[in-house]
Chain A
Amino acid sequence: MIIEARQLSKVYRRNKWFGAAEEYSVFSDIDFTLAKGESVGLVGRSGAGKSTLGRILLGVEAPTAGTLCLQGTPVATAERFRPPSGELRRALQVVFQDPHAAVNPRLTAGEIIAEPLRNFFNLKGKLLAERIAELLVMVELDPADAGKHPARFSGGQLQRISLARALAARPSCIILDEALSSLDMLVQARLLDLLERLRQEENLAYIFISHDLRLVRSFCSRLVVLAQGRLESADLCRSTNPELQILQTAMLPRRPQAR
């Protein structure tokens, strides 16, 4: 198991100058497991807490209650929370929703991707440059782009740089937080193929956070829905889950309707 979470809860507190602190419960009692080579879709309306759950499962944010084991190592227990380090850091990667906030604007694309390569694999010089070029080609960017700064890329291109950075660490799981949503359809389709290939060849697992049912259904093998603070597993295609049905109704048509 890559991720094993039991009874996770998260409560955000807002301390006030006067009076009692305000508490806002995002979700409670969530059980979740992720095995090698699985791709799980995490679906919900905006504001449901999908990204918060993603950050907690990654071990970068502490749950308020519950236990979390990443690759067999306890990260959060009832007594303490210890953020993962070293090998665990490498094994779990993430592509965040906002690509502009996810990269250091003062580094070039090449330096952004070089960071995990240096930290985890000690690559240097020519080998490093080659691997960077290889990763850029993988995500359909031009190796010559390595010298450019983030300001010169579009949101979709930055998202692909973030994906290349995640892949650089050769992880066993990637959390994709709306990672393909701002890409145009051709690139999106090719990246889905790439991710699917990596899943089959290298047993990579994904948590695919999205509110696009089309993407989730064509990519994931299992579906969980986060709504009103509860996580429920749902059938990919024929589900009676009310939240899924709302999303289903809102789904845009495949072909133009007669006008």
Chain B
Amino acid sequence: MTTETENLEQLQIINLSIRAADKWLVEKVSLTLRKGRISGLIGASGCGKSLTCQSLLGLVPRELQVSGELRCGPARVALNNQPALCRSRLPNAGLAIILQNPMSCFNPVYRISYHFRETGKAHGYRRKDNCPARWRELLTDVGIEDPQRVLGLFPFQLSGGMLQRIMIALALMVRADYLLADEATTDLDPVVQAQILDLLETIAAKRNMGVLLVSHDLAVIARLASELLVMKAGRIIEQGTTEELFAAPAHPYTQALLDAHLRLYQFAEMG
């Protein structure tokens, strides 16, 4: 029985493969997300990081073939390219995703309140769970000071950092158990980036949410993730706790990555 409950606290992705007509884009990737833990995923651009995230939500383009399995406790589902809502695949593992460019995630002709209402409706929430009072509460939770005013604004009136906070609020609204942060702080200025990373850390701890932090910047991973997966050309080539990998990277690619990262800091910390 204990193993069963333990299993409910984690989401396993088993043998995820994504294939285009002529080549493997992602090959036999297996990883485990745990509630309340932040896992980092690092790799070069085009190595399949984003596809991996998208495949968990069934958002991979139609022309690609997806295979693999999601497991949470006793429940299992096959991965495919049919879009699925947060909780419809696995009842104990609702997923939400936040992306690099939050501006493109919102419909520019509708106010922020509309996005909350639409998301709630799509998930079948009743009126009392999908009302401005609830939305204001969520916005306060992600550190927005005047939620009433923000709800009435259009996406283009808000900064990238604010929109990213709203994306996280939407993920909280659908009570996602796991959040996929796909380069979520890459385009933000360092001060805002630090704030969003702090927010992700707080939320992971407070709401017992598992986070997959995808980035190409080892500093972001070092700040937040407790375990790290290194991806290259569609495969996971190395994984371990972040401290282990920083102390003793085994794969030459990880070593090169770490060298490039540390070289940046040669002069950076003198200030």
Interface residues of chain A, those whose CB is within 8 Å of chain B, are: 45-47, 154-157, 181-189, 211-215, 217-218, 236-239, 244-248, 250-259
Contacts and interface: CB of A to CB of B under 8 A. Distances in A.
A188 B268 CA distance: 16
Interface of B: 43-46, 159-160, 186-194, 197, 216-223, 225-226, 242-243, 246, 256-257, 260-271
Contact of A214 (B186, B188, B197, B264): B264
A165 B261 CA distance: 27
Nearest to A155: B45
A211 B189 contact: yes
Most A Cβ at <10 Å: residue of B159, B187, B256? B187
A238 B186 CA distance: 26
B219 A250 contact: no
A184 B267 contact: no
Given A251-B268, A254-B268, 12 more contacts: A46-B159, A183-B216, A186-B256, A187-B44, A188-B260, A211-B190, A212-B190, A237-B270, A247-B190, A256-B221, A256-B225, A256-B246
B260 A251 contact: no
Contacts of B256: 186
Contacts of A248: 271
Contacts of B216: 183-185
A81 to B, nearest CB: 30
Nearest to B265: A254
Contacts of A217: 267-268, 270
A214 B257 contact: no
Contacts of B262: 254
Given A247-B190, A256-B242, A213 B45 contact: no
A250 B190 contact: yes
Contacts of A45: 189, 191
29 contacts: A46-B159, A46-B160, A46-B189, A47-B159, A157-B45, A182-B186, A184-B43, A185-B261, A185-B264, A186-B256, A186-B260, A189-B263, A189-B264, A211-B190, A213-B271, A214-B268, A215-B264, A218-B264, A237-B267, A237-B271, A245-B271, A246-B191, A248-B271, A254-B219, A254-B261, A254-B262, A255-B222, A256-B246, A259-B226
Decide if the interface of chain A is mainly helix, strand, loop or mixed. loop
Contact of B222 (A47, A188, A215, A252): A252
A71 B164 CA distance: 43
Main secondary structure of the interface of B (DSSP, over half): helix
Nearest to A248: B271
Contacts of A237: 267, 270-271
Chain A to chain B: the 4 pairs with minimum beta-carbon distance, closest first? A252-B219, A237-B270, A189-B260, A217-B267
A250 B257 CA distance: 22
A236 B267 contact: yes
B166 to A, nearest CB: 18
A45 B44 CA distance: 27
A181 to B, nearest CB: 8
A218 B259 CA distance: 14
B96 to A, nearest CB: 23
Contacts of B186: 181-182
Contacts of B243: 256, 258
Nearest to A247: B190
A8 B221 CA distance: 41
Contacts of A213: 190, 268, 271
A251 B219 CA distance: 9
A138 B261 CA distance: 22
A178 to B, nearest CB: 9
A253 B271 contact: no
B45 A254 contact: no
A256 B201 CA distance: 14
B270 A238 contact: yes
Given A154-B46, A184-B216, A218-B263, A254 B271 contact: no
B218 A185 contact: yes
Nearest to B271: A248
A214 B261 CA distance: 10
Contacts of B266: 218
Nearest to B256: A186
B257 A238 contact: no
